Amino acid sequence: MKRRARLSTTQMIVLSFLYTILTGAVLLWLPISSADGSFTPFVDALFTSATSVCVTGLVVVTTATHWSLFGQIVILLLIQIGGLGIITITTALLLALGRKITLRDRVLLEDAFNLSTLSGLISFLRRVLAGTFLIEFVGMLLCLPVFVPLYGGKGIWYSLFHSVSSFCNAGLDILGPDSLIPFSGDVWLNLVTMALIVLGGIGTVVWWDVLGTLRGVFSGRIPRRRIFGSLSLHTRIVLIMTGVLIFGGAFLFLLFEYNNPGTIGDMPFGEKLLACLFQSVTSRTAGFATISQKALTPASALLSILLFFIGGSPIGTAGGVKTTTFAIFLLSVAATVRGRPEVTVMQRTVVQETVRKAIAVMCIFFAVCIVAIVLLLCFTGGSALDICFEVFSAAGTVGLSRDYTVAMNTVGKLIVTACMYLGRIGPISLILALSHKDNNPPMRYAEGSVIVG
């Protein structure tokens, strides 16, 4: 208990994910978790547990055939825990048991949600849980018309698994080895899956901000012409970046893949549009695939890597550096080019601490990916493009692969597992957890001149 008291909130969050991954690995290692009743190699069980908790979706064994029903249930629980966050689940259990939520618990929850206030934290947690389970339940109902006619009673389980995996941006499925490629022409399933991915990826803060604004419009408090301006700055940036990345990415995928027979070249135009839109959405940390990733043109593969890198939005189930981080980085570059001392957006000034954090997150994330790429080139080998695709997919908790995952040796699996873990907790969180906190007051030194550029 004394040791627990000395741990910082960041250290507790980092360790909670690690302990959950190890617990899941032990459960998946047991014979009861495999379809044939044998022990699964521990490195494969560890990889599967990590990809579930980190809501990534990369797999070294086929989820539909290798794991028993018990193993699939364990994987689904790990996905749900990883999507919501271990701290969120733990606090929810304390509330359900009627336990008092201490100030330390609230601070821990505040850090887990990456919020800046303790005010209304428990009610916010309740709204997150209610919204999550409601959307997942509705998603399951919407999947039933697709899976029940195909799989009978098992279609209910398939619908639940697919809904939770989609909303948590996990990308794991129990449909077979080809992900959603057999359903590439199913408009309904594609639209439902994309909706779940986007709702999970934009973040809970955006949900309630949009709903609150819409209630204000319906009650007459907010004029219809001021709907967008009434949203918070965070929500506006998230919605703009999400729209630009989804539709801009879809247009570029259509341009790069239009005549590619390995992906969409032989599809009718409507299916081409649907496949490109889905590829753009899933590349921002979902991990489902309706077209072959191996057959993508190099231009599309590089575009996918960029989308892996950016990812979804804060306080959601998505990974990557986040849309707001990338937006602040671009705005910072624009301000520097224009010679402006401050970063401004939508008539608001972004505080310098936020700008520095955005740049730090971008640089550390990129550095981790470069190190992992070099290590895989040294210890596993293979195509440089495939390795870059794999690493950014793992670190961005996406789950798409150019068939490189199944070809990795044990060292490669451990490297990619580390990437998934760092991508879920955030590399900067690990650095803060391992660093020594300096309690001395900051000292301001004399300014010095350095020439850059």
Give the model's confidence band at 115: pLDDT under 50 very low, under 70 low, under 90 confident, else very high: low
Q: What does the domain layout of the chain look like in residue ranges?
A: 2-310
Higher-pLDDT residue of 417 and 287 is 417
Per-residue model confidence as pLDDT tens digits over 311-337: 988 877 788 889 999 999 999 999 989
Q: Is the Cβ–Cβ distance between 410 and 40 less than 8 Å?
A: no
- pLDDT for residue 8: 64
Q: What's the average model confidence in pLDDT over 432-444?
A: 57
Question: In whole angstroms, what is the distance from residue 176 CA to residue 182 CA?
Answer: 9
- pLDDT for residue 149: 94
Q: Is the Cβ–Cβ distance between 323 and 358 less than 8 Å?
A: no
Question: In whole angstroms, what is the distance from residue 412 CA to residue 63 CA?
Answer: 20
- pLDDT tops 60 at residue 428: no
**Is 393 strand, coil or helix?**
helix
Percent of the chain predicted with pLDDT > 70 = 85
Per-residue model confidence as pLDDT tens digits over 333-371: 999 898 888 888 888 888 888 888 888 888 989 999 999
Per-residue model confidence as pLDDT tens digits over 396-412: 989 899 999 988 999 99
* Residue 144, token pair as written in the block: 């039933």
- pLDDT tops 50 at residue 378: yes
Picking from 71, 81, 73, 79, the residue whose alpha carbon sits closest to that of residue 30 is 71
- pLDDT for residue 83: 82
Half-sphere exposure of 328 (CA within 13 A, CB side): 24
Per-residue model confidence as pLDDT tens digits over 40-88: 999 999 999 999 998 888 999 999 999 999 999 999 999 988 887 766 6
- pLDDT for residue 1: 44
Q: What's the average model confidence in pLDDT over 189-207?
A: 90
- pLDDT tops 60 at residue 437: no
Per-residue model confidence as pLDDT tens digits over 221-273: 888 888 888 888 889 999 999 999 999 999 999 999 999 999 999 999 999 99
Question: In whole angstroms, what is the distance from residue 255 CA to residue 156 CA?
Answer: 38
**Polymer length of the chain:** 453
- pLDDT for residue 205: 82
Instruction: Report in angstroms the alpha-carbon separations of 179 from 320, 333, 410.
Output: 22, 39, 24
- pLDDT for residue 110: 62
- pLDDT for residue 370: 95
Highest mean pLDDT among 91-95, 113-117, 125-129: 125-129
123 burial class (0-12, 13-18, 19+ CB within 10 angstroms)?
A: exposed
Q: What is the pTM of this model?
A: 0.89
Question: In whole angstroms, what is the distance from residue 391 CA to residue 399 CA?
Answer: 10
> Which residues, other chains included, contact 100 with Cβ-Cβ below 8 Å and sequence gap of 6+?
none
DSSP string, 407-451: G--HHHHHHHHHHHHHHHH-HHHHHHHHSPP--SPP-PPPP----
Per-residue model confidence as pLDDT tens digits over 133-145: 899 999 999 999 9
- pLDDT for residue 2: 47
Per-residue model confidence as pLDDT tens digits over 11-25: 777 788 888 899 999
**Amino acid at position 395, single letter:** A
Residues facing 349 on adjacent strands:
344
Higher-pLDDT residue of 105 and 209 is 209
- pLDDT for residue 423: 86
Instruction: Report in angstroms the alpha-carbon separations of 164 from 137, 217, 280.
Output: 8, 31, 20
To which H or E segment does residue 343 belong?
A: strand 343-345
